[in-house]
């Protein structure tokens, strides 16, 4: 049985790079009050087998039967607080998705959402993450898929052919994070105007804004409010 080996030197994260300010952002006019936040980023390593979670072990074993070289498809597998996350290599996303849906021991029929995340200080250099939330109605299990790409090559294969419910979710993730889902039609903005420049949920996107009059007072624009740090 093959194993996903923890990254070399991965232990506690102590002594490594630290994430400061709100989610690592700085110089962006952040007024959230988290400007003084300092934390160690998570270590990029797989959980050890067995995972200590029966559902996670069952899902991994089924995938291993379907993919004899599973480590070619998965970068790492993380079980944390009872949740299973499969970090999938981009080129293998569609094959893994099809297997998760069709394998009789897996049967993840429902894709409930596709979301994005931006980690500007990601040590792999791939700051943009597409995250897929799946549910097996047959086996009452949940799993999360995650694919990471660089902002200069933000393309991820669309999973609409596997789960048509991905349609508007992929459009929203493209709109707000700039992840381009290839192999599908109609990848257009869904929240912002068609001529909007940039992707507002990236960490380095300027807050901007305009003053707002409210009950006789004027609320300053977000980028001009005082910092609470």
How many residues can be counted in the chain?
A: 229
Which domains are delineated in the chain? 17-46 (no CATH), 47-203 (3.30.460.80)
DSSP class per residue in 89-153: -GGGHHHHHHHHHH-TTT---EEEEEEEEE-TT-TTS--EEEEEEEEETTTTEEEEEEEEE-TTS
The confidence score (pLDDT) of residue 157 equals 98
Express each pLDDT in 181-218 by its tens digit.
999 999 999 999 999 999 999 988 877 777 788 888 88
136-164 mean pLDDT: 97
99-120 mean pLDDT: 96
- Confidence bin at 33 (pLDDT 50/70/90): low
Query: What pTM, to 2 d.p., does this model score?
Result: 0.80
Other Cβ atoms within 10 Å of 58 Cβ, number: 16
Task: Using the predicted structure, report yes or no on whether residue 95 has a pLDDT greater than 50.
Answer: yes
Q: Name the DSSP letter for residue 8.
A: T
The values of phi and psi at residue 96, to 5°, are -65, -45
Beta-carbon contacts of 22 under 8 Å, excluding residues fewer than 6 positions away, are 30, 32, 34, 35, 37
């Amino acid at each position: 049985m093959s194993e996903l080996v923890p990254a070399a030197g991965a232990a506690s994260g102590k002594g490594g790079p630290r994430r400061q300010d709100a989610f690592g952002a700085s110089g962006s006019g952040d007024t959230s009050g988290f400007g003084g936040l300092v934390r160690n980023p998570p270590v990029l390593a797989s959980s050890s087998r067995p995972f200590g979670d029966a559902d996670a072990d069952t899902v991994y074993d089924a995938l291993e039967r379907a993919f004899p070289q599973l480590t070619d498809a998965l970068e790492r597998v993380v079980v944390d607080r009872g949740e299973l996350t499969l970090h999938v290599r981009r080129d293998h996303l569609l094959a893994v998705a099809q297997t998760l849906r069709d394998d009789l021991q897996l049967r993840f029929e429902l894709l409930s959402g596709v979301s994005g995340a931006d980690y500007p200080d990601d040590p792999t250099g791939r700051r943009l993450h597409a995250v897929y939330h799946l549910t097996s109605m047959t086996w009452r299990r949940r799993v999360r898929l995650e694919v990471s790409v660089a902002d200069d090559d933000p393309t991820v294969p669309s999973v609409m052919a596997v789960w048509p419910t991905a349609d508007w979710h992929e459009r929203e993730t493209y709109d707000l994070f700039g992840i381009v889902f290839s192999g599908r039609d109609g990848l257009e903005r869904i929240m912002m105007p068609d001529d909007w420049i940039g992707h507002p949920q990236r960490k380095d996107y300027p807050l901007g804004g305009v003053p707002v009059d409210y009950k006789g007072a004027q609320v300053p624009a977000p980028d001009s409010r005082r910092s609470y740090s």
